[in-house]
Every structure is written in structure tokens, then in C-alpha cells.
Amino acid sequence: MSAALGAGLPVFHAPLDGVATGSLVALAPDEARHAAVRRLREHDEVLLTDGAGTAAVGLVEEASRSALTVRVRDVHVEEAPRPRLTVVQAIPKGERADLAVEALTEVGVDRVVAWQAARCVAVWRGERAEKSLSRWRTTAREAAKQARRLHWPDVEGPAALDDVVGLVRESDLAVVLHESARLPLAELPVPVEGALLVVVGPEGGIADDELTALHEAGARVARLGDTVLRTSTAGLAASSVLLAQTPRWA
């Protein structure tokens, strides 16, 4: 997002299809309640985004605990950043999952895929899988607003090994993080277009058969450094290393 666009303004999600200067936009009830908590009033200025690349700056016309309407003053459309970065995140336990999703969103990851790796302690099945995925999506949504992103990350899962192998094959550069690898991640050439993929294993490590399958599918096996990071922070570190070599962080 342009640093000048809506700098310092509170950010809210809103549908912005067909919105132009002068349009009146009504926020969903949950966003209106959020605005009420922040004590927004008539004539306050806000930044709206649809999470798909469009933003609008406008003035509040009506504010209550159940409704918020905004008169649009300016509209901005941002192209999706390239290259696109996906992180396959082995499912961490408890609050570590929130930390991982939040950090990946803030750093600019475009897609987060929850991976049910063999050595994950947390297991997503049935209703628990639905609730956990919903929580990850909510965490990503709030982190995206905090980071003032116009393109919010897709959050998917749970993925099995075959799914991750498919993602590796579709990528222009796929990397599996492993502490015993000899290749430093920072030495890998990073394409400036296309699709990047980082696979982060669980706390117990990636199983040998998983590592073999991912490597045979075309993934490079690399390490971040001499220290061993937790699964909730490894993706953040790896994403930063890769993005720093692209025009996205130029």
C-alpha cells in the first residue's frame, strides 16, 4: 500500500465492487461494532479495503453499534504483488499457531497453507479442523488490517503430503527448511516473477519420507542459519530472506 494512502486512519473491511468517489458504503455489522469500540463518529475519516486490492478513503456519515456508513472520497486500486509467496505451515500447537499466521501475514505472505505433517502434535479433524481454519483466517484478517495490506492472504488447509507435493511442482522456486541442510537459504537465486513456496515443518521435524517426497518433486532443501528456529517463527524468517531479494522489498 502507498505510504501516503490513508496514513494513520483506522482500517475496516468493506465490499468495494463498483465503488467510486461519492459512493456510500455500508459496513457489515461486525465491522460496525468494531468501529463503535473505537468510538468513531460522524465526519471521522477512515480507510476501507476489500482485501482484494481496492481501498477507499472516506468520511463516516452514520455511526452506531449496529451500522456504519462511509461516503467515499478517494479510491485506490493496487495490483497483486509479484512474485507470489506461499508458506506451507505445519500446524503448531495452541497460541503458536496464531503467532505464525499473524507474522506471515504482516511480512507479506500471499497464501498460508496449514499442513497436517506426520509429526504435528496438533491434529485437525472434522469440526476441529473447521474451527481451527476459521481461527487462522480471522487472525490473518486482523493482521492484514493492522499491517495495512490491500491484498489479504488466502488461508487454506488442512493439506496432506500429496497436496504439498502438488504445490511444490507448481512453483518456480520451492524451498523446504531443514536444519541439517548444507545450502544456506540466502544463497538461492530468487525469481522476480512467478510463484515462490516455503515449506515449514513441525516442532518434531519433517519426517524422512516427507522430505524425500518434497525433494523429488523439485523442492530445494535449505537452512536459515546455525540456530534452530521454532515452527512458528521459521516461516517469518525464511519469507523475509526471500522477499528481500525481490522487487517487493526493493
Residue 1 lies in a domain: no
Q: How many domains does the chain have?
A: 2
Instruction: Note whether 167 and 93 are same-domain residues.
Output: yes
- 71 domain residue, yes or no: yes
Residue 5 located in a structural domain: no
Q: C-alpha 7: how far from its chain's center?
A: 21
Cell numbers 516427507 correspond to 210
User: 166 lies in a domain?
Assistant: yes
Statement to judge: residues 224 and 110 lie in one domain = yes
Residues 71 and 88 both lie in one domain: no
Last residue of one domain, picked from the residues 33, 51, 77: 77
**pLDDT tens over the chain, length 250 residues:** 544 566 789 899 999 999 999 999 998 888 888 777 778 788 889 999 999 999 999 999 888 877 888 999 999 999 999 999 999 999 999 899 999 999 999 999 999 999 999 999 999 999 999 999 999 999 999 999 999 999 999 999 999 999 999 999 999 999 999 999 999 999 999 999 999 999 999 999 999 999 999 999 999 999 998 888 999 999 999 999 999 999 999 8
Q: Are residues 112 and 19 in the same domain?
A: no
Its domain, for residue 37, covers: 11-77
* Domain at 119, CATH number: 3.40.1280.10
pLDDT for 4:
58
Report yes or no on 6 lying in a domain.
no
**194 plus 221 within the same structural domain:** yes
Q: Does 56 share its domain with 95?
A: no
In this structure, are 141 and 174 located in the same domain?
yes
pLDDT tens-place string over residues 123-148: 999 999 999 999 999 999 999 999 99
57 and 124 inside one domain: no
Report d(CA 216, CA 111) in Å as an integer: 23
pLDDT of residue 35: 75
CATH of the domain at 28: 2.40.240.20
* Burial class, 243, CB count within 10 angstroms (exposed 0-12 / middle 13-18 / buried 19+): buried
In this structure, the answer to whether residues 123 and 31 fall within a common structural domain is no
Please tell me whether residues 65 and 178 are part of one structural domain.
no
Q: Which residues, including other chains, have CB under 8 Å from residue 85's CB and lie 6 or more apart?
A: 108, 109, 110, 111, 196, 197, 198, 239, 242, 243
Residue range 156-182, pLDDT digits in tens: 999 999 999 999 999 999 999 999 999
78: cell is 493496487
For the whole model, what pTM was predicted? 0.92
Please tell me whether residues 105 and 62 are part of one structural domain.
no
Domain stop point among 77, 98, 127: 77
Task: Note whether 65 and 102 are same-domain residues.
Answer: no
Alpha-carbon distance values, 81 to 113, 151, 191 (Å): 18, 8, 13
